Amino acid sequence: MEWTKEHDIFLLREMLASDIFHYRKGSPDRGRIWDEIADRLNATKDMVFHIKEKRSVRDRWILLKNKLKKNRREEEAASGIEVDEQDEKDILIEELTDQEETTKESIGSKEKADKVAAEDVRNKALERLGETKKRKQEVDGNDVTKKTRVRRSTEGALIFLKEKAEQELEIRKQDQKIQQQAQHQQIQQQQQIMQMVQAHNEQMQMIQQQQMQQNQCLMALLQKVLLINHNY
């Protein structure tokens, strides 16, 4: 299918409301959530989705995440250029990326060997972050303050978007439940009709058999009467 910005926002809202990155990567639970997201998107009446392979929603997320990271690197490299105001799509991608990375770190810290590796990665990340902040401060002393202000300004929007996504998710779940109940009732009605038709056919067959037996008895009686008359 062809993904538009509106399709992407629907996908990101579903991911945020489903807490998909609460589960370990590659786990059955995360796979189940991905499948449920694809099913709900295909079932929604607000937007037309044609997701034939459920893996495509994961591939789309990877593409969106990598694209945003690339844009951020380009913005950091081009210091002094004014950054466009974040829209809903960018805010959702950024938040989901943070959740995904946080989950990776928390899962890795549960095992001793991975904990050492994760600590090393975090330290290097902090070093790079410190170097990046230092370079940005040299170019523009107000840049760090501006980024902090932008991040804080998006927190309120993120809370609103998460609540909205959760409400929409609940509505879609209710719609799916209603559709399933309607399908179940329809199946029951069809089964009842089939049972009635079968019972009617069996009754008609029984009547036909009775009529045949009666006809046979009548024919036998007529033959007997004719035979008696013939003898007289």
Q: Report which of residues 164 and 202 the model is more confident about.
A: 202
Say if 208 falls within a structural domain.
no
Q: Tokens standing for 170?
A: 């609940």
47-79 residue pLDDT tens:
899 998 889 999 999 999 999 888 888 877 776
Q: Give the structural domain span for 83.
A: 5-124
Whether residue 101 lies inside any domain: the answer is yes
The reported pLDDT for the residue numbered 147 is 46
Is pLDDT at 19 greater than 50 in this prediction?
A: yes
Structure confidence at residue 14 as a pLDDT band (50, 70, 90)? very high
C-beta separation of 104 from 43 below 8 A: no
Q: Is the dihedral of CA 119, 91, 20, 7 positive or negative?
A: negative
133 is written with which tokens?
Answer: 């902040």
Angstrom CA distances, 63 to 66, 103, 133, 180, 187, stand at 5, 19, 27, 33, 41
145 vs 166: CA distance, rounded Å: 32
In tens, the pLDDT along 38-47 reads 999 998 888 8
If one compares 101 and 143, the residue with the highest pLDDT of the two is: 101
Q: What number of CA atoms fall less than 13 Å from residue 59's CA on the CB side?
A: 8
- Establish if 139 belongs to a structural domain: no
The sign of the CA dihedral 13, 18, 22, 28 is: negative
pLDDT exceeds cutoff 70 at 116: no
Residue 218 lies in a domain: no
pLDDT on residue 41: 92
Please check whether residue 84 lies inside any domain of the structure.
yes
Provide the token pair at 36: 């449920």
Quick: pLDDT tens for 211-226.
Answer: 888 888 888 888 877 7
pLDDT at 110: 61
Two structure tokens written together for 38: 């694809």
**Residue 53 region by backbone torsions, left for phi larger than 0, else alpha for psi between -120 and 50, else beta:** beta
Token output for 172: 């879609």
Most confident listed range (127-131, 182-186, 210-214, 223-227): 210-214
Contact yes or no for 18/29 (Cβ under 8 A): no
Q: In a 3-state reduction of DSSP, which class is residue 124?
A: helix
For residue 9, is it within any domain? Answer: yes
Query: Considering the chain, what is the average pLDDT of its residues?
Result: 80
pLDDT at 146: 45
d(CA 232, CA 229): 5
The answer as to whether 117 is a domain residue is yes
Distance CA 187, CA 120 (A): 58
How many domains does one find in the chain? Answer: 1
Task: Evaluate whether 143 touches 11 at the Cβ level (below 8 Å).
Answer: no
- In this prediction, residue 127 carries a pLDDT of 73
**Residue 49 identity (one-letter amino acid):** F
Q: Is residue 116 part of a domain?
A: yes
User: Tokens for 182?
Assistant: 């309607």
